[in-house]
Structure 1
Amino acid sequence: MASAEQRKSNGENKVKLADIAKQTGYSPATVSKALNGKADISEAARQAIDKALKDNGYIRRVSLSRKQRTIEVVFRDFETIWALEVLRGIITEAKPHNINVMVAESGDRQHPDSSWVEGIIDRQPIGAILVFSNLTDKERSMFQSHGIPFVVFDPSGNPALDDLSVQADNWMGGVIATRHLLELGHKRIGIITGPDEMLCSRARLDGYSAALAERNIPTSPELITEGDFTTPGGYEGAMALLEDEQSRPTAIFAGNDLQAMGVYEAARQLKIRIPEDLSIIGFDDIQTAAYMGPALTTVRQPLQDMAATAARMVIDTNEGRKIQKRVVLSTSLVVRDSTRRLKSRD
């Protein structure tokens, strides 16, 4: 009987599901599910079956006819200008390589169930870019066991040690935004964050607090309100900060440009002039930021460069090149017309 090593060298896949089932104690149906990347089995079962397959010299093969020259991009929410910026960067990098880009939407849940991974495995792209959250151990194992590389774009938490990831320097972006307002003489600076569970949101808030601390200005809880990175969330946060005329801030740092749009609308309704009465700074520098009235001062997060980098990481990994696993790109200040030096109040 040929050894496992001989079977590997001969490229043979003569292992029977019944044999693996007998060795592992799992049913042939469970072995089949593990082999085909199905989600409805335990992680312990998946690992045991994968080990038995490997020990018996089984080699997973994807036929060339099935392997698609496609990168799959999974968004939580695709109906934003931010998402279009990301997609544009991915397409720009993929097109010269004759690679198509497929878009999927996982919905509003931060941790959708693992069935979406099954769909990707069935479609057999050369890789996936995941724009919504970190992976669960189960999802990670499903990708790895089927040889599909993935990159986590702007991860919501600290990525796992072996995960490929791309993000901006959100902490420094928060520092840059707040320093700009401080240099204009503002001390009562409100901030509308993103969701607290998202790493980028916490990092921007920490940068805000660090910049205030540089000037010995304490962080005031009443000047901090949590948003959700949407325009309605920015509007609601701004109304909470601005409703009391006596205690309202003289400047607001919006956690992203979409929230800044909501701040503009709140200011309009309250008859607060921008920037004469209220300075506003955003984060991202999406294309519409320059066309707001007045043009929005913001922190540029190089979304298209980040997206192109993520696509390049997928391509290079697929082609066997050695790559840096974690990439952090710099943020920078873009000064426009929505911020100005604070004038003393009568």
Structure 2
Amino acid sequence: MNSSRNRRPTIIDVAERAGVSKSTAARALAGSGNINDETRERVLRAAAATGYERNHLAVGMRSGRSGMLGLVIPDITNPFWGEVARGAQDRAAESGASLLVFSSDWDAAKEATHIGTLRRARVDGAIINPVADNFDDHHRFGLPFVFIGSSAERFADISSVGSDITQAVRLGMDHLVSKGHSAPSFIVGPKSRLARARFLRAVHEHCVERDIDPGILAMEDGEYTVEGGREAMRRLLERPHVGHVCVFAANDMMALGAMMAVREAGLNCPADVSIIGFDGIPSGEFAWPGLTTIAKPGREIGVRAVEQLFDEIEHRPEHGRIYMPCRLIERGSLADLSVPAPKRVAAG
């Protein structure tokens, strides 16, 4: 049995096949500028033919870089965070980097464990959506990092990127008013989450500008999940109400759960209950009726976060918050009450 068939090809195998020295082959594969194009092409063909792959661990030990980045998001099952991860992965790959993705499940202890794992893996830097809003011990990370998400706004001295929540909520509220829904109900996140406060602050400002008392608006909170929205909608429907019900949910998962609760109550969306979501996840398009929503730029957030992280790694950061604008996606889950219903004429 030929044992050479079972061993990993080395740089010596590449050099012999290309007819160059070991050092020339190494420089060509590293992208060195002092290698002519013909030689570089010959070495690359030899590497492909032999199946050679560079030892990135060894390269990283010499350069101080691993070529790996970390991403810690709160809920990998939420399609919005999947979009963020996809954008980050694509941008990292463009620069030859790999991305390690962890989900904290909204658990601060898990988040701390994941950050420790990334540090031990010697990643070049990490992108983190801090689930703990009192994230004051970030100096312990020991690696370059940027923040994403609403909690990041508290840290002006740290590079971060996220949706413009104020712009997004105003966009949604203005659209509701244009459709005749001036005093909607709300399904929001847990009281412990800063995202909830950001959302409600924008709602309050909008109401004050339109001379609406925010205290009259019905509100239920819950987890940012389908079941959280479903239970919150059930509680809203149990409240006394007259006429049409309109609900603004703080994320699309909640909105989809609310639509389920409406059907379970024997009601119709949007004839009896209008619902608007927040995030712009793809599944909203396939709901019936389609979910009207304020779409966050998830993929673009991932891209910009990686670009910010590269700046941190290269020691050229411009600390501050990047606010990404959101957009309205109008589908069928909102009734238009701005147009009077046609009068029915009794047959003579």
Per the alignment, residue 333 of structure 1 pairs with 328
Alignment root-mean-square deviation, CA:
2.5
- Contact persistence 2:80–2:280 (CA under 8 A): no
Q: Secondary structure at the match of 1:281?
A: strand
Tell me, in whole angstroms, the C-alpha distance in 2 between the residues paired with 1:248 and 1:157: 40
Given the superposition, is the C-alpha separation of residues 113 and 91 from structure 1 closer, same or farther in structure 2, using an over 3 Å criterion? closer
Per the alignment, residue 100 of structure 1 pairs with 98
Tell me, in whole angstroms, the C-alpha distance in 2 between the residues paired with 1:135 and 1:96: 34
Could you tell me which amino acid in structure 2 is paired with residue 90 of structure 1?
A: A
Tell me, in whole angstroms, the C-alpha distance in 2 between the residues paired with 1:330 and 1:198: 21
Could you tell me which amino acid in structure 2 is paired with residue 328 of structure 1?
A: Y
- Contact persistence 1:117–1:142 (CA under 8 A): no
Shift of 1:244: 4.0
Could you tell me which amino acid in structure 2 is paired with residue 176 of structure 1?
A: L
Per the alignment, residue 121 of structure 2 pairs with 123
- The TM-score normalised by the length of structure 1 is 0.74
Structure 2: unaligned runs, 5 residues or longer: 1-59, 344-348
Q: Secondary structure at the match of 2:270?
A: coil
Highest Rg: 1 or 2? 2
Comparing 109-118 with 207-216, greater Cα deviation is found at 109-118
Residue 282 (structure 1) aligned with residue 273 (structure 2): no
Per the alignment, residue 35 of structure 1 pairs with none
Residue 317 (structure 1) aligned with residue 312 (structure 2): yes
Written as runs of structure 1 = structure 2, the 5 A alignment for 1:208-219 is 208-219=203-214
Given the superposition, is the C-alpha separation of residues 96 and 158 from structure 1 closer, same or farther in structure 2, using an over 3 Å criterion? closer
Tell me, in whole angstroms, the C-alpha distance in 2 between the residues paired with 1:151 and 1:135: 16
- Contact persistence 2:159–2:321 (CA under 8 A): yes
Q: Secondary structure at the match of 1:73?
A: strand
Could you tell me which amino acid in structure 1 is paired with residue 73 of structure 2?
A: F
Residue 91 (structure 1) aligned with residue 86 (structure 2): no
Tell me, in whole angstroms, the C-alpha distance in 1 between the residues paired with 2:204 and 2:172: 11
Could you tell me which amino acid in structure 2 is paired with residue 78 of structure 1?
A: I
Per the alignment, residue 255 of structure 2 pairs with 260
- Contact persistence 2:153–2:160 (CA under 8 A): no
Deviations along 1:61-90, one digit per CA (max 9) or x if unpaired, are x83376311110112332221221111110
- The TM-score normalised by the length of structure 2 is 0.73
Per the alignment, residue 273 of structure 1 pairs with 268
Could you tell me which amino acid in structure 2 is paired with residue 129 of structure 1?
A: I
Could you tell me which amino acid in structure 1 is paired with residue 87 of structure 2?
A: G
User: How many residues are aligned here?
Assistant: 281
Shift of 1:93: 0.9
Given the superposition, is the C-alpha separation of residues 212 and 161 from structure 1 closer, same or farther in structure 2, using an over 3 Å criterion? closer
Tell me, in whole angstroms, the C-alpha distance in 1 between the residues paired with 2:218 and 2:243: 8
Query: Residue 69 of structure 1 is aligned with which of 49, 67, 70?
Result: 67
Given the superposition, is the C-alpha separation of residues 248 and 167 from structure 1 closer, same or farther in structure 2, using an over 3 Å criterion? farther
Could you tell me which amino acid in structure 2 is paired with residue 70 of structure 1?
A: M
Deviations along 1:176-227, one digit per CA (max 9) or x if unpaired, are 2122111111234110011233333222222222223333221236611112
Q: Secondary structure at the match of 2:181?
A: coil
Given the superposition, is the C-alpha separation of residues 215 and 162 from structure 1 closer, same or farther in structure 2, using an over 3 Å criterion? closer
Per the alignment, residue 169 of structure 2 pairs with 174
Deviations along 1:39-67, one digit per CA (max 9) or x if unpaired, are xxxxxxxxxxxxxxxxxxxxxxx833763
Could you tell me which amino acid in structure 2 is paired with residue 121 of structure 1?
A: R
Q: Secondary structure at the match of 1:253?
A: strand
Structure 1: unaligned runs, 5 residues or longer: 1-61
Could you tell me which amino acid in structure 1 is paired with residue 224 of structure 2?
A: F
Q: Secondary structure at the match of 1:274?
A: coil
Written as runs of structure 1 = structure 2, the 5 A alignment for 1:196-275 is 196-220=191-215, 223-244=218-239, 246-247=241-242, 250-275=245-270
Shift of 1:121: 1.6
